[in-house]
C-alpha cells in the first residue's frame, strides 16, 4: 500500500532539530521580554478580505501565494501568509489603541504561502515578528532595528548586513512611481514578464526583480531618495543618526522596497552571507497607513518579521547538535527490580531529575549499550540482588566509576547528587 507523505513545501521538525527551535524561541522570548514587548497570539486563518486589504491586491503574496479556501459555511478564508495583518486586526477589534500610549507586541508562529519550495523557502514556514503601534517617533524605528540586531547577536549569528532605506510618504512615493513608470516604459519590451505586468500595477516591485536584464535596465533608473520631501528626508536622517549612536552599522540601499503596499518611510532587511540565495533573515519597516486602511484610527506603526527556518539553518552551521540533556538512564531486570525501578524513576523525576527508564526487558548488556547512547550522565542499575537489598548501582558513564548505595540514599542525598550531575554537564 502507498504511504501518505507530508505536503510539498511543509516539513516535519524532528526531535534533533526541535532543540534549535526551542533555542530560538527561548532567546526571542527573553530579548523581546526585556524590551517590554508583549506576546500576542492570533488565529492561523482569517477572512480573505483582511489580507486583500491589509497586504494589498497587487502584491505577490495576495495575487499568487495565498492558501484561500471556502469553508462549509461558504466563507472565503485564508491561511495567514504573514503576521502583521492579523495583529493589526486584533489591535483594532480589541480597542488596544484606547489604552493610549504605545503598544509593543510580538508573535511567533506558522505562516503559509504557495511558493516554489527550496532551501529556506517553504509553503508552511515560521516567523517571529514585532509590531510597535502608536508611535511615529524615529526612535521607534531605531528600537525595532536594535532589537532585531540584539536577537540575532544573542543567537550567536555572524556575517549579517543591515540594508536600510526610506520610501518616503504616500505623496513622495506617488511622484517616484510616476518617474519610474516614465523611465521604464520605453524599456517595457525588454523587461521580464512579471515586471511588464507590474509596470502599471505595482512598479516599485520591479526594483525587486531577480531578472538580470531587468536589473541592467534598472541601473540608470531614478532613485527614491531623490523624491523624498524635506520632512521625509529629515526623518530618514534621524533614524540613521540613532542607528549610528547605537553602533549599529548599516548600508543605505536605495533599491530596497518592500513587497507590501502599506509601508512608509523606513524599510530594512537584515541579510546573511551564509544562506545562498535566500539571504534575508529579517525584514521590516514602518507602516503608518495600515491601521486606518483596516478601519482603525490613524495610527503610526513599525515592525519586522524574521524567518525562523533561515535562522535555524544558520544556527545549525554554527552549533553541532547537542546530546539529550538527561541525568539518569535506569536499567533493570527481573520482576522485583522492574517494579522498584519504575517507582524510583517517578520519585527521582518528582525531585527534579530527568530519568529515562529502559522498558525493553532485554539482557543487561543490551540495556547498558542503550544507556551509553542515551546521553545520560549516570546509569542506575537494579537487578535481583539490588532488589533484594533495596540498593542500587550508580554508574558514572563518563568515567565508568561505579558505587552501590541504598535506594533511599538517592533521595536523602538528592542535593549532593544534583551538584555532581551539574558539574559533569
Residue numbers at the binding site for ligand ATP (CB under 6 A)? 82, 113, 115, 120-122, 125, 127, 259, 278, 280-281, 283, 305-307, 309-310
Complex with ligand ATP: residue 61 or 378, whichever CB lies closer? 61
- How far is CA 115 from each of CA 15, 112, 227, rounded to the nearest angstrom? 26, 9, 33
Instruction: Show the beta-strand stretches assigned E in 20-123.
Output: 38-39, 45-47, 67-70, 76-79, 103-112
Complex with ligand ATP: residue 108 or 421, whichever CB lies closer? 108
Spatial separation of the C-alpha atoms in residues 370 and 221, rounded to whole Å: 65
Taking the complex as a whole, how short is the minimal distance between the CB of residue 205 and ligand ATP, in angstroms? Answer: 10
Number of residue whose CB is nearest ligand ATP: 307
Taking the complex as a whole, how short is the minimal distance between the CB of residue 260 and ligand ATP, in angstroms? Answer: 7
Taking the complex as a whole, how short is the minimal distance between the CB of residue 123 and ligand ATP, in angstroms? Answer: 7
Contact 163, 281 (CB under 8 A): no
Q: Which residues pair with 280 in a beta bridge?
A: 271
Contact 144, 333 (CB under 8 A): no
Complex with ligand ATP: residue 86 or 120, whichever CB lies closer? 120
Complex with ligand ATP: residue 55 or 357, whichever CB lies closer? 55
DSSP state of 187: G
Complex with ligand ATP: residue 89 or 310, whichever CB lies closer? 310
User: What b-and-e string marks burial along 19-32, b requiring 16 or more CB atoms within 10 Å of the CB?
Assistant: ebbebbeebbeebb
Spatial separation of the C-alpha atoms in residues 114 and 110, rounded to whole Å: 13
Spatial separation of the C-alpha atoms in residues 129 and 82, rounded to whole Å: 9
Taking the complex as a whole, how short is the minimal distance between the CB of residue 116 and ligand ATP, in angstroms? Answer: 9
> Angle at Cα 99 formed by Cα 304 and Cα 28, nearest 5°?
30
Count CB neighbours of 295 within 10 A. 11
Overall residue count recorded for the chain in this entry: 425
Taking the complex as a whole, how short is the minimal distance between the CB of residue 108 and ligand ATP, in angstroms? Answer: 12
Please report which helix (H) or strand (E) contains residue 380, including its range. Answer: strand 376-382
Complex with ligand ATP: residue 168 or 259, whichever CB lies closer? 259
Taking the complex as a whole, how short is the minimal distance between the CB of residue 356 and ligand ATP, in angstroms? Answer: 34
Complex with ligand ATP: residue 132 or 281, whichever CB lies closer? 281
Taking the complex as a whole, how short is the minimal distance between the CB of residue 145 and ligand ATP, in angstroms? Answer: 14
DSSP state of 7: P
Q: Cell 492579523, residue? A: 86
Complex with ligand ATP: residue 217 or 283, whichever CB lies closer? 283
Complex with ligand ATP: residue 148 or 381, whichever CB lies closer? 148
Spatial separation of the C-alpha atoms in residues 50 and 266, rounded to whole Å: 23
Taking the complex as a whole, how short is the minimal distance between the CB of residue 307 and ligand ATP, in angstroms? Answer: 2
Taking the complex as a whole, how short is the minimal distance between the CB of residue 110 and ligand ATP, in angstroms? Answer: 10
Taking the complex as a whole, how short is the minimal distance between the CB of residue 310 and ligand ATP, in angstroms? Answer: 5
Contact 254, 225 (CB under 8 A): yes
Contact 138, 316 (CB under 8 A): no
Residue 45, φ and ψ in degrees, nearest 5: -130, 150
For residue 313 the three cell numbers come to 539553518
Spatial separation of the C-alpha atoms in residues 23 and 312, rounded to whole Å: 9
Complex with ligand ATP: residue 122 or 214, whichever CB lies closer? 122
Taking the complex as a whole, how short is the minimal distance between the CB of residue 280 and ligand ATP, in angstroms? Answer: 4
Complex with ligand ATP: residue 290 or 371, whichever CB lies closer? 290
Residue 194, φ and ψ in degrees, nearest 5: -60, -45
Amino acid at each position: 500500500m502507498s504511504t501518505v507523505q507530508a505536503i510539498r513545501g511543509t516539513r516535519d521538525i524532528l526531535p534533533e532539530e526541535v532543540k534549535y527551535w526551542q533555542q530560538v524561541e527561548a532567546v526571542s522570548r527573553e530579548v523581546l521580554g526585556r524590551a517590554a514587548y508583549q506576546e500576542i497570539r492570533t488565529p492561523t486563518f482569517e477572512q480573505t478580505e483582511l489580507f486583500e486589504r491589509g497586504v494589498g491586491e497587487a502584491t505577490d503574496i495576495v495575487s499568487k501565494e495565498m492558501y484561500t479556501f471556502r469553508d462549509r459555511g461558504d466563507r472565503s478564508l485564508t491561511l495567514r501568509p504573514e503576521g502583521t495583518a492579523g495583529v493589526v486586526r486584533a489591535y483594532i477589534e480589541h480597542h488596544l489603541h484606547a489604552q493610549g500610549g504605545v503598544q509593543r507586541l510580538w508573535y511567533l508562529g506558522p505562516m503559509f504561502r504557495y511558493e516554489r519550495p527550496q532551501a529556506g523557502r517553504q509553503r508552511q514556514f515560521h516567523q517571529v515578528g514585532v509590531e510597535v503601534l502608536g508611535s511615529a517617533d524615529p526612535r521607534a524605528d531605531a528600537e525595532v532595528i536594535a532589537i532585531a540586531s540584539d536577537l540575532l547577536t544573542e543567537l550567536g549569528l555572524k556575517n549579517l548586513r543591515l540594508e536600510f532605506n526610506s520610501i518616503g510618504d504616500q505623496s513622495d512615493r506617488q511622484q517616484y512611481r510616476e518617474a519610474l513608470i516614465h523611465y521604464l516604459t520605453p524599456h517595457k519590451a525588454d523587461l521580464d514578464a512579471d515586471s511588464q505586468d507590474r509596470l502599471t500595477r505595482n512598479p516599485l516591485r520591479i526594483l525587486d526583480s531577480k531578472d538580470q536584464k531587468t536589473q541592467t535596465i534598472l541601473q540608470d533608473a531614478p532613485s527614491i531618495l531623490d523624491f523624498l520631501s524635506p520632512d521625509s528626508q529629515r526623518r530618514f536622517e534621524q533614524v540613521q543618526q540613532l542607528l549610528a549612536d547605537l553602533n549599529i552599522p548599516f548600508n543605505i540601499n536605495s533599491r530596497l522596497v518592500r513587497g507590501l503596499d502599506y509601508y512608509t518611510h523606513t524599510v530594512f532587511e537584515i541579510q546573511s552571507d551564509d544562506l545562498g540565495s535566500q539571504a534575508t533573515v529579517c525584514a521590516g519597516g514602518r507602516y503608518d497607513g495600515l491601521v486606518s486602511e483596516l478601519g482603525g484610527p490613524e495610527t503610526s506603526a513599525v515592525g519586522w518579521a524574521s524567518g525562523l527556518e533561515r535562522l535555524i539553518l544558520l544556527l545549525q552551521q554554527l552549533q553541532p547538535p547537542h546530546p539529550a540533556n538527561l541525568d539518569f538512564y535506569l536499567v533493570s531486570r527481573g520482576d522485583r527490580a522492574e517494579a522498584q525501578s519504575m517507582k524510583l524513576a517517578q520519585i527521582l523525576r518528582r525531585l527534579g531529575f530527568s530519568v529515562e527508564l529502559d522498558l525493553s526487558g532485554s539482557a543487561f548488556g543490551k540495556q547498558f549499550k542503550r544507556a551509553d547512547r542515551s546521553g545520560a550522565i549516570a546509569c542506575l542499575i537494579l537487578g535481583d540482588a539490588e532488589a533484594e537489598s533495596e540498593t542500587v548501582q550508580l554508574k558514572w558513564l563518563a568515567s565508568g566509576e561505579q558505587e552501590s548505595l541504598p535506594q533511599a540514599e538517592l533521595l536523602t542525598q538528592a542535593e549532593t547528587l544534583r551538584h555532581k550531575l551539574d558539574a559533569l554537564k
